[in-house]
Amino acid sequence: MEPDQEYVWFDHLPTRYPWSSLWYGFYRCECAALRSNEPACPVCGRTSPCEPIDPSRLGEPPTYVTPGAEGRYEDYVYLELIEREWKRPTLDVETLPRPRVAGRHMADKVGIVLLFWTYFESRIDRLIDLGLSYRPAEEAENLRIRYRSVGARMDRLYKILFATTYNADLADAGYAPIASLLQEIQTRRNAFAHGDPVAIDDSLVERLVTALRIEHLSWIAAYNRRLSVLRARTDVERGD
Ligand SMILES: [Zn+2]
């Protein structure tokens, strides 16, 4: 990762591509992995996206129908809301009170961190749902009820399901800087929610926006790693 290049990832998007285009080009493999243009699926090794939809049409290029990698429509909405907030003009500080404590002040675009965190929680839930889908329904429901907060899901529940934590998973996959940024966002967002609005400052907003593309890739990497392990474990249990 080269910081200078990464800083402007959104300036290099093709014309009229929104920030939600981070999802463009990613699709769900038949094995459920989230793939892009790798020659082979990182989880099952398939080379084509899936079986041609109509293999009988000889002589024509095969056509494929591939579901997108996003979990739901809101995955696009969150990214576009973050983009909209980033691109709006800075508000006049005279007309909007900005809390200030000992020289620190709340970010003008503090909403970006709050939006991101809601979006991030929904993707942690998607990972957790993946792990729970391999458990008996009643056990899954009990775990879901017992571990409700995102912090508990990233740590304790993640450990129960996957024998690691989300942040350790990211670090193992080569995304240690993203893991530490996420920890910082989590801490500061909690401080914001509990009476310290200056905990989210302009620097945090800028670092988050800069890292959005790599954060997106890191979540996909964690998803595929977990899917791989779950599938391998199932194969061993079946004796394959
Ligand atoms: Zn696959």
Q: How far is the CA of 32 from the centre of ligand 1 (A)?
A: 6
Token duo for residue 223: 């998803």
Ligand 1 centroid, distance to 202 Cα (angstroms): 40
Q: Where are the alpha helices (DSSP H) in 40-157?
A: 74-87, 111-132, 137-146, 150-152
DSSP 136: -
Integer Cα distance of 125 and 105 in angstroms: 32
Q: Can you give the residue range of the structural domain that contains 61?
A: 27-69
Show the tokens assigned to 234.
Answer: 């199932």
- Among residues 38, 53, 69, which one ends one of the domains? 69
Cα torsion for 196, 199, 200, 203, to the nearest 10°? 160
The answer to whether the CB of 53 falls within 8 A of the CB of 67 is: no
* pLDDT of amino acid 2: 47
Residues 6+ apart with CB under 8 A from 41: 29, 31, 33, 35, 47
Query: Where is the domain boundary, 11, 46, 69?
Result: 69
**64 and 109 share a domain?**
no
- And the tokens for 137? 């329904």
Do both 35 and 75 map to the same domain?
Answer: no
Residues 179 and 223 both lie in one domain = yes
**Residue 105: what pLDDT?**
85
Residues 64 and 167 in one domain: no
**Å from CA of 50 to ligand 1 middle:** 9
- Characterise 163 by phi-psi region: left (phi > 0), alpha (psi -120 to 50), beta (else): left
Same domain, 53 and 152: no
154 with 182, same domain: the answer is: yes
CA of 195 to the centre of ligand 1 (A): 46
Question: Where in the chain does DSSP place strands (E)?
Answer: 27-28, 34-35, 100-101, 104-105
Determine the distance separating the centroid of ligand 1 and the alpha carbon of 15, expressed in angstroms: 31
Contacts of residue 91, defined as CB under 8 A and 6 or more positions apart, other chains included, come to 108
Q: Rounded CA gap, 140 and 211, in Å?
A: 33
Could you give the CA distance from residue 61 to residue 186 in angstroms, rounded to a whole number?
A: 48
Whether residue 31 is found in the same domain as residue 99 = no
Question: Based on the domain organization, do 45 and 120 belong to the same domain?
Answer: no
In this structure, the answer to whether residues 94 and 61 fall within a common structural domain is no
Tell me, in angstroms, the distance from the centre of ligand 1 to residue 47's CA.
8
Q: How far is the CA of 137 from the centre of ligand 1 (A)?
A: 25
Q: What is the pLDDT of residue 104?
A: 79
Please, what are the averages of pLDDT over each run of 10 residues along the chain (240 residues)? 61 93 93 91 83 60 76 93 95 60 83 97 97 97 97 97 97 98 97 92 95 97 97 81
pLDDT of residue 226: 97
**Can you give the C-alpha Rg of the chain in angstroms?**
20
- Pair 34, 56 in one domain: yes
Query: Looking at the structure, do residues 142 and 158 belong to the same domain, yes or no?
Result: yes
If asked whether residues 19 and 35 sit together in one domain, one would say no
pLDDT at 156: 98
φ, ψ of residue 28 in degrees (nearest 5) = -90, 125
Whole-angstrom distance, CA of residue 8 vs CA of residue 184 = 22
Please give the tally of structural domains in the chain: 2
**CA dist., res. 228 & res. 44, Å (int):** 8
HSE (side-chain half, CA atoms, 13 Å) at 122:
16
Q: Determine the pLDDT at residue 43.
A: 94
In the reported structure, the alpha carbon of residue 42 is separated from the centroid of ligand 1 by a whole-number distance in angstroms of: 7
